[in-house]
Amino acid sequence: MASQTSSPSQRELINWCKGESLDLKHALLLHGVPEGVSREDIEETAGTIKALGKVRVRGKMFHPQQQSVMVLCECREEIDPSKIPPEIMPISEGSGWKTVYYTEPQLDNFEEKLLTFLQSEGRTLDDLPGLCSLTKEGNSNPEDIIRAVGDVMSRTNKQHDSHPYRRLRTFSGVSPTPTGEETLDNWLEQATFLVEEGECSDKEKRRRILESLKGPAFEIIQAVRLTQPDASPSEYIKAIESIFGTVESPEELYLSFRALHQQSGERLSEFLRRVEKSLVKVVQGGGLPVSAANSARLEQLLRGSTSELMLLQLKIRERSSDPPTFLNLLREVMEEEVRQLAKQSHLSHMRPQRVRTVQAEKEKELESVSRSELQAQIRELRAQLEQRSNLQPQPISDESFTGLKEKQKQKNESQSELQSLRKQVKALENKMSVMAVKYTSDPPREHTPQPHRYKAAPVHKPAHSKVFPPRQDKDEFFCYRCGENGHIATRCTAPENLQKVIRKLIRLVRVSPLPNKENPNPAAEEQHVARTNKVEVPEPNTDLPEGLVGPSFIHTIKVNDVVCNALIDSGSNVTIIFESWYNEHLPDVPIKPLSGLGLWGLSDTEFPYKGYVVVEMEFTEEITGVSGRVEVLALICPEPRNQQQTPVLVGTNTSLFRRLWELVKTKGDENIVHSMRIQSVYAPVKAQEQFAKDEVLGQIKWKGPGLLSIAPGVKYYATCKVERHSAPSKDLVLIDAPTEQLLPAGLLVQPGVLSDASIDNNSFTVLIQNESKRATSIPVGTIVAEMYAVDTVTSVRLSDLPAETLDPSLFNFGDSHIPEEWKSRFQQKLAERRNVFSLHEWDVGRAKGVEHHIRLHDPRPFRERSRRIAPADIDDVRRHIQQLLATGIITESRSPYASPIVVVRKKNGKIRICIDYRTLNNRTTPDQYTMPRIDDALDSLSGSQWFSVLDLRSGYYQIEMAPEDKEKTAFICPLGFYQFERMPQGITGAPATFQRLMEKAVGDMHLLEALVYLDDIIIFSKTLEEHEQRLLKVLDRLEEVGLKVSIDKCQFCQPEVKYVGHI
């Protein structure tokens, strides 16, 4: 369609000509002119149309939608529309420039205009009566027709500039999404809404979609329009989605949905909206039915959310049976967030000093309310559980122990409600203990993942004290702002840590508030309890994977002939008998007083005990393989409240485990003790190694004057005095940091070895470095170093060792018709040159006096992407890299350069790792060393009768890389990041470096007695005597340079050989 008929361009031309006072009949407007085109080029291009005459540029204007320049030109001749083409091709390369010129408006008849209007709206004349509400009986006078047309226009009016519509955001398909453009998912949602809900015609929908696209996305729709001119807007959207979208299976969409978690700083409502967006994709993709959407949404919100306190307040977990819809759930979450925000805002306004007391009281009220609400559910369930406690069986006896499992399987239906209550209590306690906090503790303790741990450590306490009292100081309360102990929120200056506060509140709920007559402080006792984890093993018909649940370490033993259950725990240093079981079964055994022992479990305070007893324990053959008694010292400790605890815990104190070891060692099989984990603890019982203590010859002390203060990061030469423990000698001594009286943290002493006789006792200098971040001082008389005797080791010279020779049978002469005496002679002399032959793949030499350098003309670092390795090759690649590391050919790297690897299989099935050094080679200045021509080299072989071929073992790996260039050889793979210590294959200049080395090693023999082409050497001669002399001479020269040849690839004394592809 001719561009001059475009009414907007006509208006632009008319308005511009009025501003420039230009006659419309001599004005020409050019569209699509690039920005960089000069006035002269524009005038020359427009002048190619002879009907315009001379053309002069009057003005330029940038068109934002077309991203090009509009140019207004004045023509000498009056414009004749019949002689003006719709486009002008520029002189330089590029697309054509559209022409716009003024044309007189033509008045068409009304019917033609009406048909054109209805056609643009997708209507016909048959639709006119329905749009105008006319009937055949209606009047057809001019007034009615005008009124009807106005009605049509009001109903079908397009949204022009006077009636703006919301345009689709721009989408180009470029990744990553440029600033100002829309992502694919958001654009698809908007475009789909336009197609499904828009009231405009399909033509208008296609236009709106087209005007929102650019770049690659626009090119895709152009291709669709070319092949399918009548494509619908929905087909446009499907084409964009198929090209730029990712094809994910329903399983992948579901896994992505299940992997969602609330991020740090993300509100719960934001996380819920993100969950809903992913859930919609899953449902649309067929990964989940619509009926299960509400349940899946609620379940994922519980799994992925970290806002535990808000979930508790909204009672989300209790609504799993009747999950709410997305809108209802989002409304509740947002209302709760607004409520908490208002609450925090209210508290923040009450921060001033004058109302701090009131604020503290409100925080205490909030604390009591939150604790009471969370504890109410547990107390209610516990009350129901205690009412049914009569149904619980009594403690099992020795006779009924063997039938315990059968009785448990025969539980009747009357106990089902009791079990249900137990599970509810357990579930609620687990929910509140998900984010339990470990309080900090002053005494050191060792954390282990075992279910029950007690560590004994000596402490200083009065002799009359038997039970450690719980602390009643600042640890009783904590801050509701930062979560730390010892202060309240109104006096807090630390940053807010809401997660820590929530975890501590939940932990407080776990402490039972019920009083106890024997112990007035039950909360303190609960803090001293270390629980025993239990695993409920289901019935055998359940489908649990084999090996998931291990054997129980709770066994039946006898304590003073009383049968009981005991937990065998090699992680506990002491044996414990709980007080209730002791009072019932061992009242006659006296408790001996004990003090000075601190008992630590999983809590932050000491575990109380009343003393210890001496008892005899008997273990069955099921545990140790033989039956026997051992004498045990056991602590008597209070039993944890509200816990199902085994009455005896067997620890690793010496009187038990050492006797068990000796008992099993003498009467049973040592392998049996593996079931009790004794061997890993008491292996030193079998064999103990003793090492001689280093002899200290003297101490070096700071002699002053005054304190020695060393600034952070500073090295200081301190003048000290030496206090000897023995007379000086002529031997060597080691100066090193003291081992007993350690220096302050961060101070390091430079060790050294020197003659004892050269040490000045009154003025000896020691180098001390302060590696800490603060100044450190040491007083006068501080021991800064010690003197130790040194053992001198004399190495044996290689020349004193007998020369190692090879087996002569390793040298194979193949089908050569060399006489036997000559063959034996060659084998004997070759076997004497052990150091020049490589016997296995990784026995590579090291060339002397040569390094490979990489000279870059573009030193900027680069990093290539790591390429995928086939799963079948991963083990072979890992093994190959480990061998390269062990041989010292490569090492781990931190280089700014990185090149990828390519794995290639050899003919023998082994792999070869090739590095793609194309980027590095493009930046490398090449070495112009000339490689020999094969044809010229082979001409020197004419007339020879005997040939030997030597092949170097991994020739490139025998040349070292220059230290400054090693990082440039770095390569990356899924198994790590490494760089070469030796010269790798594939880099520019490597063949030149290797050829230069080989020609230098052979020297004057090259081309006269031997030929060298990279790692292949051929020795030629006319007689065997001459051949022997030349072959041994080449081998000796290779040995001098440090090179090695592959013994399994060499050919000796052959009448004909294959050399670099020639025979």
Among candidates 247, 175, 176, 165, which has minimal Cα distance to 212?
165
The CATH label, of 3.40.50.300, 3.10.180.10, 2.40.70.10, 3.40.47.10, for the domain at 554-685 is 2.40.70.10
What residue ranges of the chain are covered by domains with CATH 3.10.10.10? 808-1054
Among candidates 977, 1045, 1034, which has minimal Cα distance to 1005?
1034
Higher pLDDT: 105 or 482? It is 482
> Which of 487-496, 714-723, 887-896, 1007-1016 bottoms out in mean pLDDT, i.e. has the lowest?
487-496
Amino acid at 1003: G
Longest Cα–Cα distance of the chain, Å, equals 138
CB of 109 within 8 A of CB of 77?
no
* Structure confidence by residue, pLDDT tens digits, 184-233: 888 888 888 888 888 788 888 888 888 889 888 888 888 888 888 888 98
The CATH label, of 2.70.40.10, 3.40.50.1820, 3.40.50.10490, 3.90.950.20, for the domain at 705-789 is 2.70.40.10
Residues 6+ apart with CB under 8 A from 276: 297, 326, 330
CB of 619 within 8 A of CB of 679?
no
Q: Is 160 helix (H, G, I), strand (E, B) or coil?
A: coil
CATH architecture assigned to 3-100: 2-Layer Sandwich (3.30)
What percentage of residues in the chain have a pLDDT greater than 90?
13
* Residue in the block written with tokens 């054997």: 551
Residues 6+ apart with CB under 8 A from 984: 915, 917, 956, 969, 990
Instruction: Give residue 993's pLDDT band: very low, low, confident or very high (50, 70, 90).
Output: very high
Among candidates 293, 290, 282, 219, which has minimal Cα distance to 255?
282
- On the question of pLDDT at 22 being above 80, the answer is yes
* b/e burial code for range 10-44 (CB count within 10 A of at least 16 → b): bebbeebbeeeebeeebbbbbbbbeeebeeebbee
- On the question of pLDDT at 692 being above 80, the answer is no
Higher pLDDT: 305 or 409? It is 305
Q: Is 609 helix (H, G, I), strand (E, B) or coil?
A: coil
Instruction: Give residue 531's pLDDT band: very low, low, confident or very high (50, 70, 90).
Output: very low
Q: What is the pLDDT of residue 555?
A: 82
> Which of 67-81, 83-97, 782-796, 898-912 bottoms out in mean pLDDT, i.e. has the lowest?
782-796
Residues for the chain: how many in total? 1063
Taking residues 8-25, what's their average pLDDT?
84
- On the question of pLDDT at 525 being above 60, the answer is no
Bridge partners for 1021 per DSSP: 946
Beta-carbon neighbour count of residue 634 at 10 Å?
Answer: 25
Crossing angle for the helix pair 326-349 and 293-304, to the nearest 10 degrees: 30
Taking residues 668-692, what's their average pLDDT?
44
Among candidates 381, 307, 374, 365, which has minimal Cα distance to 337?
307
- On the question of pLDDT at 437 being above 60, the answer is no
Long-range contacts of 174-177 (CB under 8 A, 24+ apart): 174/215, 174/216
- For domain 808-1054, the CATH class is alpha beta
In angstroms, rounded to a whole number, what is the distance separating the alpha carbons of residues 551 and 549?
Answer: 7
* Structure confidence by residue, pLDDT tens digits, 728-762: 877 788 888 888 777 888 888 888 888 888 888 88
How many alpha carbons fall within 13 Å on the CB side of residue 927? 17
Higher pLDDT: 442 or 14? It is 14
Q: What is the pLDDT of residue 412?
A: 47
What residue ranges of the chain are covered by domains with CATH 2.70.40.10? 705-789
- On the question of pLDDT at 875 being above 80, the answer is yes
Any idea what DSSP says for residue 442? S
In angstroms, rounded to a whole number, what is the distance separating the alpha carbons of residues 810 and 460?
Answer: 75
- On the question of pLDDT at 1032 being above 60, the answer is yes
Q: Is 558 helix (H, G, I), strand (E, B) or coil?
A: strand
Residue 723 zone, left/alpha/beta (φ > 0; ψ -120 to 50; rest): beta
Q: What is the pLDDT of residue 804?
A: 60
Q: What is the pLDDT of residue 969?
A: 95
What residue ranges of the chain are covered by domains with CATH 3.30.70? 3-100
Instruction: Give residue 1035's pLDDT band: very low, low, confident or very high (50, 70, 90).
Output: very high
Among candidates 899, 904, 890, 903, which has minimal Cα distance to 918?
899
Joined tokens for residue 209: 């979609």
* Structure confidence by residue, pLDDT tens digits, 554-587: 888 889 889 998 888 777 888 899 888 899 889 8
Higher pLDDT: 856 or 246? It is 856
Q: What is the pLDDT of residue 745?
A: 81
Joined tokens for residue 507: 């932990």
> Which of 478-482, 503-507, 742-746 bottoms out in mean pLDDT, i.e. has the lowest?
503-507
**pTM over the 0.85 mark:** no
Higher pLDDT: 83 or 399? It is 83
Instruction: Give residue 1043's pLDDT band: very low, low, confident or very high (50, 70, 90).
Output: very high
* b/e burial code for range 782-813 (CB count within 10 A of at least 16 → b): bbbbbbbeeeeeeeeeeeeeeeeebeeeebeb
Bridge partners for 720 per DSSP: 702, 764
Judge residue 980's burial from the number of C-beta atoms within 10 Å of its C-beta, 0-12 exposed, 13-18 middle, 19 or more buried. Answer: buried
Instruction: Give residue 403's pLDDT band: very low, low, confident or very high (50, 70, 90).
Output: very low
What residue ranges of the chain are covered by domains with CATH 2.40.70.10? 554-685
In what order do the strands lie in the sheet containing 87-88?
A: 55-63, 68-75, 27-33, 97-100, 87-88
Joined tokens for residue 887: 């041989």
Amino acid at 8: P
- On the question of pLDDT at 455 being above 50, the answer is no
Q: Residue 176: is the preceding peptide bond cis (ω within 30°)?
A: yes
Q: Is 784 helix (H, G, I), strand (E, B) or coil?
A: strand
Rank 91-100, 415-424, 802-811 by mean pLDDT and report only the highest.
Answer: 91-100
CB of 617 within 8 A of CB of 558?
yes
Crossing angle for the helix pair 233-244 and 215-227, to the nearest 10 degrees: 130
- On the question of pLDDT at 131 being above 70, the answer is no
What percentage of residues in the chain have a pLDDT greater than 70?
69
Residues 6+ apart with CB under 8 A from 606: 443, 459, 468, 528, 598, 599, 600
